Amino acid sequence: MIQKKSNFFFQRVYEVVKRIPKGKVVTYGQIAAFLGSPRSARMVGWAMHGAPSWIPWHRVVMKTGKLPIEGVNLDCTDQREILSKEGISFRTDGTINMVEYVWDIEL
């Protein structure tokens, strides 16, 4: 039963992540809140950890604008490189300016 619920949640996460436009990012918490489970940011992280390769997992970051310590499907260097190619710039401390690049998930 729990497995079935998590699979359904993961599928909903993937549907949201597929809609994030290039050059924008969202946080784990934003996705969780959008899906009606505001305390499930870690579950979103688990969904990203196992995301199929065609899901733009790299557009999901921490609320502080940091990349995860370990990349989700690839290492953080690759995540940063992919985001940079999409036009996202990083501050000198390695964070993303969330005011500039966060996507308003409320559609």
Q: What confidence score (pLDDT) does residue 92 get?
A: 93
Q: Does domain 2-101 have CATH number 3.40.50.1820?
A: no
Q: Phi and psi dihedrals of 58, rounded to 5? A: -65, -15
pLDDT in tens, 31-76: 999 999 999 999 999 999 889 989 999 999 999 999 986 544 544 5
State whether residue 30 is helix, strand or coil: helix
Work out the number of other CB atoms within 10 angstroms of the CB of residue 7.
11
Every domain of the chain and the residues it spans: 2-101
Element (H or E) spanning 80, and its range?
helix 76-85
Q: Is the pLDDT of residue 24 over 50?
A: yes
Residues 6+ apart with CB under 8 A from 52: 14
* Whole-prediction pTM: 0.86
Say how far apart CA 21 and CA 59 lie, in whole Å: 9
* Positive or negative torsion for Cα 47, 28, 69, 92: positive
